[in-house]
Amino acid sequence: MHGGREGDPRGDARGEERNARGQGGMHGLGGRGGGRRRGRAGPPGTDPRGPGAGGAVTRPRRRAPRGRRPAVAVAVAAAAAAAAGAGGGSGGWPFAGCRRRRGPASPAAPRPALVAEPRQPSASSRTCRPPSPTRTTVGWEDRPQEAAGGEGDKEALLVRDAGPGELPRPPRGCRAELSSILLLLFLYVLQGIPLGLAGSIPLILQSKNVSYTDQAFFSLVFWPFSLKLLWAPLVDAVYLRSFGRRKSWLVPTQYTLGLFMIYLSGQVERLLGGAGGRGPDVTALTVTFFLFEFLAATQDIAVDGWALTMLSRENVGYASTCNSVGQTAGYFLGNVLFLALESADFCNKYLRFEPQPRGIVTLSDFLFFWGAVFLITTTLVALLKKENKEVSVGKEETQGITDTYKLLFAIIKMPAVLTFCLLILTAKIGFSAADAVTGLKLVEEGVPKEHLALLAVPMVPLQIILPLIISKYTAGPQPLNIFYKAMPYRLLFGLEYALLVWWTPRVEHQGGFPIYYYIIVLLSYALHQVTLYSMYVSIMAFNAKVSDPLIGGTYMTLLNTVSNLGGNWPSTVALWLVDPLTVKECVGASNQNCRTPDAVELCKKLGGSCVTALDGYYVESIICVFIGFAWWFVLGPKLKKLQDKGPSSWKCKRSN
């Protein structure tokens, strides 16, 4: 419950964007070449794939209808996305098929998935971008116009011009590319470190009694991963060819991260108010970690694109596994493990024979160590790892930035898409108090922050299994029905969380909490996850269903960006409103109040103290639930009706 991730009562800072990352590539049809146009059957003895296909006579396979995604594809994507979002962590990381697309992007925080995907139609087909020059390719084709930058790199595929008589290379096993796979894994681990650190800061700030207004301001650091669609096309198209398309961004980005970590290691104690009785400098912390998240999002774009050209076509599926496992491990190191080792109580209780006043590591030590790791490993990557020179660079890449932004604008203008975006941007208002504030309130009531962080560990298996089960019910023609049915139950959990916070100080005993308290918290979280994932998988399945296959990468990226923003902005507003809605009284001094900071100081000078008469969290919880049910009654049916629109309502009609 770190104060960020949607649906995580620990408030995981990663946001639902961690859950959504990796779901963006779900528009495949589940069978290789499932979207390929079926030619007419030739005479007996001919290859239905057409002249030049070679090989034995083959019966034409039945293709899945365009626009339908099988349950397995949705489940695999959701499971991988869920794995990367569990408390900042992940669990199992399935992969399948040969092509990967992800959204911008988390519950929890939250990743990639792999599904088999149809081949792109020929350049003469009607699309929302200028046709590409015809060329002979072997392997996968890079189409930057269809890609939203790093998200579009899910479209970027290995290419080389095939000369006369040239044959494609034989398949390579994963052992032949083990070094590349391990490198990708390590790069994703590095990416997870700043994400985990950012997720731990709200809990540290809450233990220092900062205001919820400050927490709301700090929550802005979790926005870059949801907004990276805005600069991803730039990362895709601008680079130094002599140095490498991806290394041009990866190397300076990681150097900057490393230098910032080392510099911050000498300043972080002051910023957190560790000396002189000063409070934390929330503004400086917000600016610093916003930059961290921005750089991590940029690194994600570069690594995602490099993964698909670093690995051969046969092994490109391992890119998704590396992403999920790596970011899971990195977030776990930067969040759960750090909070545990930083806590003196945890270390004295479980790791030491003699108690000491500080934990095994401090935030300063942690930052310095990982800053040095960033600098050393980035130098090794810059010097020793070469990019694949077989990636062709055509005129498309110089047109990619403008064309991508035009394509995004064309998509968002469509009436069906615009309606969907407006609805999804407001659908999560009702959950904002429960998702963003509950975890911080538990810390305020005395629950150790490291204990809340450790609750993520047993949730990992559940967050993997749930999408697999739920996808069976969202694979039909109306996936949003599950979203609609699960919403009221999730809203009721907002009231249950408020009751849990109210009960917490009453069960505390001798500065600690009994084991049954943590069991109840864990069960509440687990049941809440059922409703959250029902809605999450439902939206993911709908996005996959309606995305135009011709521009699926950009389309899915846009829809997932909107979905992530729909969870981010209500969380920030919910945190900001807690203090204004709280009513405090000055006890011990007559004719005084505690409405402003100056009034609080005056009350203390006169010998009084400010006592909370009405906690704004409870007021906000009731208001959010009321708004949520109003949305469910009034706008929920309109969201369901979007499922009845035909495929033409979702296809981009911008002329070339």
CATH of the domain at 502: 1.20.1250.20
Nearest to 560 by CA among 86, 6, 22: 22
Residue 409 counted as domain residue: no
Please tell me the distance from the alpha carbon of residue 203 to that of residue 272, in angstroms, as a whole number.
12
Q: How far apart are CA 227 and CA 170, in angstroms?
A: 40
Per the domain annotation, does 493 fall within a domain?
A: yes
**Same domain? 318 vs 353:** yes
Q: Tell the residue number behind the tokens 């918290």, with chain if given.
A: 521
Rounded Cα distance between 584 and 355, Å, is 38
> Cα(546)–Cα(566) distance, rounded to whole angstroms?
19
Tally of domains within the chain? 2
Within this chain, do residues 517 and 626 fall inside the same structural domain, yes or no? yes
Q: What is the DSSP letter of 332?
A: I
Tell me the two tokens of residue 472.
């069976």
608, 557: one domain: no
Assign 380 a pLDDT band (cuts: 50, 70, 90).
very high
Q: Classify residue 228: in a domain, yes or no.
A: yes
Residue 609, C-beta contacts closer than 8 angstroms, at least 6 positions apart: 586, 587, 588, 603
Distance between CA atoms of residues 258 and 337, nearest Å = 20
Q: Is residue 497 part of a domain?
A: yes
Handedness of CA 631, 635, 639, 644 (dihedral sign): positive
**Shared-domain flag, residues 381 and 480:** yes
Q: Please check the confidence at residue 238 and state whether its pLDDT lies above 50.
A: yes
In the predicted model, what is the mean pLDDT of residues 499-527? 91
In a domain, residue 57? The reply is no
Whether residue 430 sits in one domain with residue 471: yes
d(CA 159, CA 578): 54
User: Is 43 in a helix, a strand, or coil?
Assistant: coil
Check pLDDT > 60 for residue 199: yes
Length of the chain (residues):
656
In a shared domain, residues 541 and 597: no
Looking at the fold, whether 504 and 608 belong to one and the same domain comes out as no
Inform me whether the pLDDT recorded for 543 exceeds 70: yes
Main-chain dihedrals φ then ψ at residue 156, nearest 5 degrees: -75, 125
User: Is 56's pLDDT higher than 80?
Assistant: no
535 and 610 housed in the same domain: no
User: Which of 29, 113, 83 is CA-nearest to residue 456?
Assistant: 83
Of 123-137, 297-311, 478-492, the poorest mean pLDDT is in 123-137
- Pairwise CA distance, residues 523 & 539, whole Å: 25
Q: Are residues 600 and 623 in the same domain?
A: no
Among candidate residues 527, 195, 175, the one with its CA nearest the CA of residue 318: 175
Q: Which domain holds residue 597?
A: 584-614
**Same domain, yes or no, for 602 and 455?**
no
How much of the chain, in percent, has pLDDT values that exceed 90?
27
Q: Is residue 626 assigned to a domain?
A: yes
Residue 621: per-residue pLDDT: 96
DSSP state letter for 121 = P
Residues 561-571, mean pLDDT to the nearest whole number: 90
pLDDT average, residue stretch 276-296: 87
Same domain, 420 and 559: yes
Q: Is 84 exposed, middle or buried (0-12, 13-18, 19+ CB in 10 A)?
A: buried
From CA 357, how far away is CA 335, in angstroms rounded?
21
Residue 10 covered by a domain: no
3-state secondary structure at position 123: coil
In terms of pLDDT, which residue wins out, 31 or 375?
375
- Asked whether residue 459 falls in the same domain as residue 601, the answer is no
Q: What is the pLDDT of residues 106-117, one digit of tens each?
A: 444 443 333 333
Instruction: Answer whether residue 401 shows pLDDT above 90.
Output: no
Mean of pLDDT over the chain: 74
Q: Residue 277 has what pLDDT?
A: 62
* pTM of this structure: 0.69
pLDDT of residue 45: 42
109 closest CA partner among 245, 190, 15:
15
Establish if 262 belongs to a structural domain: yes
Contact call for residues 15 and 74 (beta carbons, < 8 A): no
- Report, in this order, helix, strand and coil percent for the chain, each rounded to 5: 60, 5, 35
| Ramachandran angles phi, psi of 584, nearest 5° | -120, 145
